Each structure stands twice: as structure tokens, then as C-alpha cells.
Amino acid sequence: MPDAFRIGLLGRGTVGGAFADLVAERADHVANVTGLRPEISGVLRRNEGDFDEIVANSDLIVELMGGLEPARDYVLRAMAAGKHVVTANKQLLAEHGEELWTIAREHGVQLRFEAAVAGVVPVVRVLQESLAGAHVERLHGIVNGTTNFILSRMAETGAEYADALAEAQALGYAEADPTDDVTGKDAAAKMAILARLAFDTPVSLSDVPYEGIEHLTADDLEYARELGLGLKLIGTAERVDGGLSVRVHPAFLYGAHPLASINGPFNAVTIESPAITEITLSGPGAGGPQTASAVLGDVISAMIPPASTPEPSARLKLIADVTSAFYLHVEVADEPGVLAQLAQILGVQGISVKSFVQKGLGTNARLVMVLHPVLESRLSAAVEMIAGLEFVRSRPRAIRVLDEEF
Amino acid sequence: MPDAFRIGLLGRGTVGGAFADLVAERADHVANVTGLRPEISGVLRRNEGDFDEIVANSDLIVELMGGLEPARDYVLRAMAAGKHVVTANKQLLAEHGEELWTIAREHGVQLRFEAAVAGVVPVVRVLQESLAGAHVERLHGIVNGTTNFILSRMAETGAEYADALAEAQALGYAEADPTDDVTGKDAAAKMAILARLAFDTPVSLSDVPYEGIEHLTADDLEYARELGLGLKLIGTAERVDGGLSVRVHPAFLYGAHPLASINGPFNAVTIESPAITEITLSGPGAGGPQTASAVLGDVISAMIPPASTPEPSARLKLIADVTSAFYLHVEVADEPGVLAQLAQILGVQGISVKSFVQKGLGTNARLVMVLHPVLESRLSAAVEMIAGLEFVRSRPRAIRVLDEEF
């Protein structure tokens, strides 16, 4: 039985509950990776738990209370007591980051905060580690899922802002009071944190001018489409004339921009640097389980520096014959009965057709179809049988189609 | 003056040279992040340098020779001597990974290899760290830039495979002997490494069936477009019936798939897991400076575990007035002279028009234009002047347009 790694949990709302569940579910796996078994050793809620006792009985503190106080006080006290801290609190970092990072350095503890920015998208880790040696020139982000959902719906359905907001609220993508999201303030706090990391310069929320999406109209999106543009709420941090500009505002993007295809409640960040050209990271922007997963990644990193690849704990059987959807291209002499024979062969192998195009006529016809998923061995058998038909003029061409349900 | 961190470099081709340049360029920055100043303490080339001497005089070895031997022998001996190793050698890891990782564990050293897979896209770090606690269900990757460039050109221009390959060779995206790339073998090696990390199961190159792109025709891409599909060389690693399937083959993707918009010599990986839904990482797949940047990220991680956010070393001035392209929407009564007055105001502020649409007639006309980049203060001044014109029926609407040159 591996030793326990004790986690004190401050706050047990949606994310806190999801995190406690995830720790229980993944404890064995984490023990294999780190040599220590994580457990929740104490929980602080409004009417439950004693902060000092929880800190004394923990190896690490996870702060998921949100808000400035008492979260700030607790995080400072935990670090002063020599405990690592993992937090998802963007507001706290955007307003008091330098104070917190200073205390972390002074006490030699880790303060990790992947979940504070862009949900499960690992942008904090990539900036702090992969790009620790890089000179970042510019960073663009879609860092608020609520506004991206609203703008995506306005673009897709032609809805006005108020209607798209109401839909977002009904689906749980926007809060009853959506002010912090739709004014751009939430995105500005996240951009302050990202700019601090990317440009090594102190940036707080008050340094970031922001403009929201409330004034945008269905009209704007319609004209934009005619001009080949999509509309997003974009956070920008970039070097300008030897200084730094950090800001949040709606902006049109041309279709080839890596952020143009980010739709719905997703987040994404594009980082530009001469050495790397650019990299883009995208994923869900929020949600209890997603945020909890980002918090757990930070906890594991704090438990043990990843020295080397652990010994394999699984030895999954390697599977050869899998199920795929297929594109099938058959060149035929178009005679009576051709389709019937093809259909019969497909039917024998249990293959059904999703879409179908016929091109050309007479001896020069082509049948192109997309097939529903089928075991590859069955598709191969069908191709062999079709290739043997006398009216088939060349070897049928089969190419897999990914994720037809996507 | 901070202490030196000595790097022994094995191999000095394109990537090795770029890495040596990058270390020199970023040494001060790295010293600020880590407290140690990196330097190249020895270089081993075909006719230069002594391996044992280089190892003895290094804190870490960077292996950029490529190939199986003597790279394998050198990496094993360096780790046995207690040195961390950073390598970009996918072939070595795909064929001898378990042996190397075992020796790394036995000697308590780090073996890092971000640059071996997907160029600068930080997928190794994300799998090993951010997702260390996650249960990965499936991973899809475009992990070969050469084939993605060829397929992108075939789709864009209608070129046949041989012509697109010749273009890739002329541009330096394909080697004179492109066999390993176009047969899918290179991608299969990378998928073996990614599957090992994501599923904690030993996977070597010989376990990964692969199919290349040489047999694809312009025809396939044309029909596919009609069916709403794009064609990519896709690596897949996924759980199937309690086992694992790892494979590489061409596959069609529907337009909404996150990998569908990855064009040209780029790489991208999508990781699916119940807890995170999915995340996608994308960036340039190769190139000397890009690969060197990934190697340097690994070197910095090996130098010091990222304990906490370092003290800010830069204090960039925060810039308020920046340059942006704009969409401008003006509702006017369409009288003679309207356009002339608008054009004059824009001209006074030094603003030029990139594209222009007029909708409606008479008292109900709308002018929608995209403006070339301009200082925001100048745009604001122009908007105020336009708003004051008597034929303008409502406040002009200005929305930024991102990256018009993109």
C-alpha cells in the first residue's frame, strides 16, 4: 500500500465536488504514476471544517472557493505554512498574483493554477514549461466559453444577442447574472494572467481594457459572413513598440485564422513566437469535471516532478481488426443490375450506405459512396467480391472516414 | 554571474545547429528562469569530439544524431553515467523506448523527448503532466507535416500526388527520398510513442500497421469535397473492446472535426477523455528552429522543476493605443456626395479601405467596409466625425478585424 498524499480542499461547489470524485476514481492510477496515493484529508465549507486544522493535516491545499477574500488570506497562510497550493481562482491571481507568487517563492512552495485560465486547455503549463525558453511575440485567446457560445449561436441561427444569451442561460452556459462574462471582464482577468506568464511583466486586471459583446447585432454577423469573416471575443497580449498591449474586445477573423474554427463553449489560445511560428491549444472552456481534471493535473505535478516515464502498468491487447466508416469509389460499366449486385454484396457483409453519388454514364460511370462503420475485415471482403464483378472496370478504392458521428 | 549548466550536444546537423544558436540567444533569459546559465560544453560530430569526455564535462546530454546506432548506445551510456538526456529521436524511442525508460528509472535521470513527436506541439508534456491523472479514451493525430502538406496541395490545386510531392520537395517540406514520410512509417513511429504515453502500454513501431498516401488520387479529393469531406493522413490510438488499436492510414474527416482545418506542413493532436471531453494541440510539424525550441523547453524542465512563477524580469510599458484593422458599418440616407464626404474623413485620418459593400437604397442604405490597420485613436476620431454628418442615420458601428494579413 503506497503512502497517502493528503489534499486539503477549500470549497466544495460544483468543481470541488467533481474534484473529490475524480480523486477517488483515479487514486490507484495516480499512485502508479507518483508512488503516493492521493486522498482528500479535509474539506472547508461555509459551515464545516477548521482551516488551521485542515492545513496542518494536508500535504497540499486545493482552493476552489473563488472570490478575493477569504481565498487570498487562506492561500497566503497555507503557503506560509509550507504547503503547495493549487487554485482555479482567476480573479485572485489577476488582482493579487504578484503578492501570491512572491510568497510562494519565499517559502519554496509551488502555486499552480492551470484551471484558472481556459479550462482544461493546458496553456499555463505550456507557457511556463514548453515555452520557458521562448521569446513570445503575441498571444491571442478565446478565453470565455459563454461569449463564444453566444456569438456562435448568433452566427449559426441569425439570432439577436438577447435571444442567444437566453439560450445560453437555459443550457447552463451562462449564469443568471452574466455580467462578468458578457462585458469581457472575465476574459480580461484571464488575459492578465496569461500576459504575466508570456511576457514576464506584472499585469493586473486593472491594466487590461475590455469591451464586451452586448452591443453586437445579428446584422454585424450577417455582413461579416459576406466579407468572409467570423466574429469572436478575442483577448490579445502583444509586444508593441517595445511595450506590451493587453486587451479584450470583439474582433472579426478571416476564415484561415486558427481561432476562426473554435465554436460553441470552447476556449483556445494561439501563441506566436519567432522560434515556434505559432501553436494553438483548444478545448472545453469550463464545466465541473473538466476544471477538476485540470486541477488534478496540477496536483500530480506538485506531488512529484516527472523524472521519467513510469513502468507500464497496463498491458492492453493490441487490436488489429477495428470498425471504420469508409468512402468507396467504384468504376463501372453502367448496365442494368449493377446497383443491385453491389447492394447485395454490401448487404451480405452487413454494410449500409450513408450517402451516394453517381457520376458519368454508360461504360464510364463512377459510383462514390460513404458507408456506415463496419469491421475492416468485412469491408475488405466486400471489396474483393466487388473487384471480381465483370462490370467493374478497375480496382475499387476504399478510404476510411473518421468520426462520422462527429 | 549565475553558475553554468553544461550541455553536451551529440550531432550538429540542421536541428543541432539551430539548438546551439538558440542556447546562445536565450542564455540570459534561461538564467533568469532557472538560476543557471546554459552553455554548450561539448559537441560530438562524425570527425569531432570524444563521447566519454563530453559526458564527463556535461550536466545533460542532448542527442540530435538520429538513427538507431550509435544513438542508442550513447543515450544508454549517458544515463548510466547519471546524466539527464533530451532527444528528438523518434525512431530510437519507437523501437527501444522500454529499454531506455527502464535505464532512466534505474539511474534516477530524466529522459525527455518532446521534439520526437509532432515538432513544437507540446503533446508529450500534456500527456505526461496535464493528463497524468486522466483516463484517455482516444487520440487522433496529424503527426507528419510532409504528407499533410502534400494532401493540402492536392485538395487546394487539384494536383495529382506525384506533382504535389515534387512541389513539397522543391520547398523543402519533403526529402529527396520521401519513403518514410509518404508510406506512413514516420507517423507510425510517432503514434507508437504517443500510444505508450496515453495508454500506459508498451507499444513499438512493429505493433503499428500503417498505410501511406502514395495511392491517393486527385479524383478521391474531388469526390470527397462534394461529400463535405477533407482527406488527411491520420494516426489513431484508441481503446477497442478492452484492448488498444494503434494505426496510421489516410482518412476523410467531416468539416467540423478539429483536425479538418489543419492544413499545410502543420501537425495536430486531439486527445479525447471523458473528464476533459477533448483537447486539440496544433503547430508547425518540423523545421530546425521549431524542433530546437522544443528541445530547449525540455532542457529547461530538466534543469529545474518549475517550483513557482519567477519574479518578473521585464517590466514592459503597457501600451494603450494600438493599431487594428476595422469593420465599419454606417447607415446613411444615400444622397449625392455621401461617399465623397466619408472618403474625405477617412483620408484625413490616414485610413484606407480594403473592401466595401453597399446594401439598400435611398434613405435606407448601409455602407459596410473593412479598413486597413490604423491607430485606434485615429479610427475613433473618424467615427466621431462621421457620426456628426447630417446624412448619417445612426451611430456608426466599428468592430476590430484580426490579422488581416493572416
Report the length, in residues, of chain B.
Answer: 406
- The answer to whether the beta carbons of residues A94 and A66 sit under 8 Å apart is no
Average pLDDT over residues B136-158: 95
Q: To the nearest whole angstrom, how far is the Cα of B45 from the nearest Cα of chain A?
A: 24
Give the integer Cα–Cα distance in Å for A31 and B98: 20
Number of domains in chain A: 3
- CATH assignment of the domain containing A138: 3.30.360.10
Chain B residue with the nearest C-alpha to that of A109: B307
Which domain-ending residue is among B92, B116, B140? B116
- The pairing of strands A84-87 and A111-112 is parallel
- Are A148 and A284 in contact by the 8 Å Cβ rule? The answer is no
Tally of CA atoms within 13 A in the half-sphere of B403 that contains its CB: 21
Q: How far is CA A179 from CA A175, A184, A324, B403, in A?
A: 9, 8, 45, 28
Residues in chain A within 8 Å Cβ distance of B276: 120, 283-284, 289-290, 293-294
Q: Nearest C-alpha of chain A: how many angstroms from B364?
A: 14
What does the DSSP 8-state code read for residue A128? I
pLDDT band at B226 (very low <50, low <70, confident <90, very high): confident
- Residue A384's pLDDT band, with cuts at 50, 70 and 90, is very high
DSSP string of B181-217, one letter each residue: HHTSHHHHHHHHHHHHHHH-S---GGG--B--STT--
Counting beta carbons within 10 angstroms of the beta carbon of residue A51, is it exposed (0 to 12), middle (13 to 18) or buried (19 or more)? middle
Range of the domain at A394: 323-401
Per the CB < 8 A criterion, the answer to whether B237 and B191 are in contact is yes
Instruction: Give the E-state strand segments of A27-94 in sequence order.
Output: 36-44, 60-63, 84-87
Residues B99 and B34 in one domain: yes
Of A97, A116, A135, the domain-final residue: A116
Strand partners, B85: B61, B111
Residue of A109, A279, A329, A371 to mutate for B, most B C-beta atoms under 10 A: A279
**Which is nearest to B194 in space by CA: B116, B101, B304?**
B116
Q: Which of B217, B244, B401 sits opposite A317 (nearest CB)?
A: B244
A210 and A240 share one domain = yes
* Same domain membership, residue A275 and residue A259: yes
Checking if the pLDDT of B404 tops 80, the result is no
Location of C-alpha cell 456569438 = A151
Q: C-alpha cell of A211?
A: 469591451
Question: DSSP alpha helices (H): ranges in A35-70?
Answer: 51-56
Lowest mean pLDDT among A208-222, B13-27, B214-228, B258-272: B214-228
- Same domain flag for A155 and A278: yes
Query: Do A281 and A340 fall into the same domain?
Result: no
CB contact under 8 A, A216 and B313: no
A295 domain residue, yes or no: no
pLDDT of the residue at A2: 81
- pLDDT confidence of residue B310: 64
Please report, as a single letter, which amino acid is at residue A149. F
Please indicate whether residue A164 or residue B1 has the higher confidence score (pLDDT).
A164
Facing residue for A261 by CB, picked from B132, B251, B261: B261
Confidence grade of residue A383 (pLDDT, cut at 50, 70, 90): very high
Between B357 and A345, the higher pLDDT residue:
A345
**Looking at the domain assignment, is residue A355 inside a domain?**
yes
How would you classify the pairing of strands B266-273 and B138-142?
A: antiparallel
Last residue of a domain, one of A116, A148, A168: A116
Q: What is the pLDDT of residue B406?
A: 37
Model confidence band, residue A167 (pLDDT cutoffs 50, 70, 90):
very high
**Residue B302 maps to a domain:** no
Burial A253-269 (b: 16+ CB within 10 A, else e): bbeebbbbbbbebbbbb
Worst-scoring range by mean pLDDT, A5-19, A193-207, B356-370, B385-399?
B356-370
- Cα radius of gyration rounded to whole Å, chain B: 27
Distance CA A360, CA A370 (A): 18
B274 or A54: which leads in pLDDT: A54
Assess whether B228 and B150 both reside in one domain. Answer: yes
Q: Is residue B18 part of a domain?
A: yes
Question: Considering the domain boundaries, does residue A300 fall inside one?
Answer: no
Q: Min CA distance, A52 vs chain B (Å)? A: 23
User: In A, which residues are within 8 Å of B284 by CB distance?
Assistant: 276-279
Residue A65 has pLDDT above 50, yes or no: yes
Cα(A159)–Cα(A154) distance, integer angstroms? 5
What cell numbers appear for B51 in the block?
563521447
pLDDT for res B325: 86
- Cβ pair B239:A108 closer than 8 A: no
**Residue B50 forms part of a structural domain:** yes
List B252's β-bridge partners, or say none. Answer: A401, B231
Please list, in sequence order, all residues whose beta carbon lies within 8 angstroms of the beta carbon of residue A381, skipping any fewer than 6 positions away.
Answer: A349
Mean pLDDT of chain A, nearest integer: 90
Q: Is B385 found in the same domain as B362?
A: yes
A106 within domain boundaries: yes
Mean pLDDT score across all residues of chain B: 90
Q: How confident is residue A324, by pLDDT bands cut at 50, 70 and 90?
A: confident
Angle, CA A138 vertex, CA A255 and CA B13 arms, to 5°: 95
Q: What is the pLDDT of residues A203-220, one digit of tens each?
A: 999 999 999 999 999 988
Cα distances (angstroms) measured from residue A73 to each of A42, A49, A70, A87, A114: 18, 16, 5, 13, 20
Do A133 and A105 fall into the same domain? no
pLDDT reported for residue A385: 94
Q: Which CATH number belongs to the domain containing residue A329 in this structure? A: 3.30.70.260
Alpha carbon of B130 to those of A200, B275, B279, B311: distances in Å? 22, 12, 11, 24
Instruction: Please check the confidence at residue A309 and state whether its pLDDT lies above 70.
Output: no
Statement to judge: residues B361 and B225 lie in one domain: no
Contacts of residue B200 in chain A, CB cutoff 8 Å?
32, 310, 312-314
pLDDT bucket at A406, cuts 50 / 70 / 90: very low
| SS3 assignment, position A42 | strand
Q: Is the pLDDT of residue B390 over 80?
A: yes
DSSP state of B48: B
CB contact under 8 A, A30 and B132: yes
Q: How far apart are CA A402 and CA B253, in angstroms?
A: 5
Residue B236 lies in a domain: yes
Centre a 10 Å sphere on the Cβ of residue B17 and count the other Cβ atoms it contains: 16
Q: What's the rounded mean pLDDT across residues A265-274? A: 94
pLDDT band of B309, cuts 50, 70, 90:
low
String of DSSP letters for A358-402: EES-GGGEEEEEEEEEEEHHHHHHHHHHHHTSTTB-S--EEEEEE
B51 lies in the same domain as B98:
yes
Treating both helix axes as pointing N-terminal to C-terminal, what angle do A338-348 and A376-387 enclose, rounded to 10 degrees? 150
What's the pTM?
0.87
The pLDDT value given to residue B306? 52
Which residues, in sequence order, are CB contacts of A245 under 8 Å at separation 6+?
A236, A237, A238, B318, B319, B320, B322
Q: Which residues of A160-199 are buried (b: 16+ CB within 10 A; e: fewer)?
A: ebeebbebbbeeebbeeebebbbbbbbbbbbbbbbbbbbb
Q: Which three cell numbers stand for residue A231?
A: 466574429
Question: Which residue, among B349, B326, B330, has the nearest Cα to B339 in the 3D structure?
Answer: B330
Q: Return phi, psi of residue A338, to 5°.
A: -60, -55
> Which residues of chain B lie closer than 8 angstroms to A30, CB-CB?
132-133
Looking at the fold, whether B97 and B183 belong to one and the same domain comes out as no
Would residue B190 show up in a list of annotated catalytic residues for this protein?
Answer: yes
Q: What is the maximum alpha-carbon separation in chain B?
A: 85
Kindly indicate the confidence band of residue A247, based on its pLDDT and cuts at 50, 70 and 90.
very high
Higher confidence at residue B123 or residue A287?
Answer: B123
- Which position among B90, B185, B190, B232 bears the catalytic label? B190
Q: What is the DSSP letter of B242?
A: T
Sheet holding B3-10, edge to edge: B36-44, B3-10, B60-63, B84-87, B111-112
User: Residue A229's closest CA among A266, A263, A260, A187?
Assistant: A260
Residues A132 and A279 in one domain: yes
Nearest to A299 by CA among A10, A107, A19, A56: A19
Q: Among candidates B271, B249, B299, which has minimal Cα distance to B111?
A: B299
CATH number for position B57? 3.40.50.720
- DSSP strands (E only) in A200-305: 229-240, 243-254, 266-273, 277-284
Q: Which three cell numbers stand for residue B96?
A: 527501444
Among the partner residues A102, A282, A406, nearest to B254 by beta-carbon distance: A406
Dihedral class, residue B172 (left if φ above 0, else alpha if ψ from -120 to 50, else beta) = left
Per the CB < 8 A criterion, the answer to whether A126 and A271 are in contact is yes
Q: How far apart are CA A152 and CA A161, in angstroms?
A: 11
The 8-class DSSP code of residue A222 comes to H
